[in-house]
Homo-oligomer: A and B are copies of this chain.
Amino acid sequence: MSSFAPPADLAGATALYVEVQHFYGRQMRHLDEGEIQQWADTFTEDGVFTANAHPKPQEGRAAIVEGALAAHRKLADQGIRRRHWLGMLQVAEQPDGTIRADSYAIVLAIPAGGQAAVELSCSCADVLVRDGAGLRVRHRSVRRDDLPPR
């Protein structure tokens, strides 16, 4: 964790930390609301999504759309809504200008007319880049805490 040293530019570090929180709020809402194209647009065109629960990485926006659509349809068929929470955030600007953002994730599952429950606990390691006015994910690695690291 030595990369998360205290920042020289306090105001800038404060603004960036909040910006990443804001970004995640917007990004995960897109996924949870089934706005899959907008979800995919929060990744760079060549963005990569890798997870210890997936057999192989999703490489590029088209693959990310495909994966999210399949998951969303399956949940819709089951009448289940998901809510993704990211928290316990660590943010650090890297020497190459990218932003490393590490977070904990909780996935809640809420069946229509049923009992909400924790479905999954994960750790999420992102490489974010600034693209125009906003942030995008260039690389995301999600580790489900119940599964061994890949």
Question: B-contacting residues of A (Cβ < 8 Å)?
Answer: 1, 4-6, 10-11, 13-15, 17-19, 21-22, 24-26, 28-30, 35, 38, 81, 83-91, 102-104, 106, 108, 110-121, 133-134, 145-148
CB distance from A21 to the nearest CB of B (A): 7
CB distance from A119 to the nearest CB of B (A): 7
Copies of this chain, complex-wide, total 3
In the bound complex, residues from chain B placing their C-beta under 8 Å from that of A19 are 14
In the bound complex, residues from chain B placing their C-beta under 8 Å from that of A87 are 85, 87
* A15 close to B26 (CB less than 8 A): no
CB distance from A16 to the nearest CB of B (A): 9
Given known A11-B11, A83-B145, A145-B81, contact A24–B88 (CB-CB < 8 A): yes
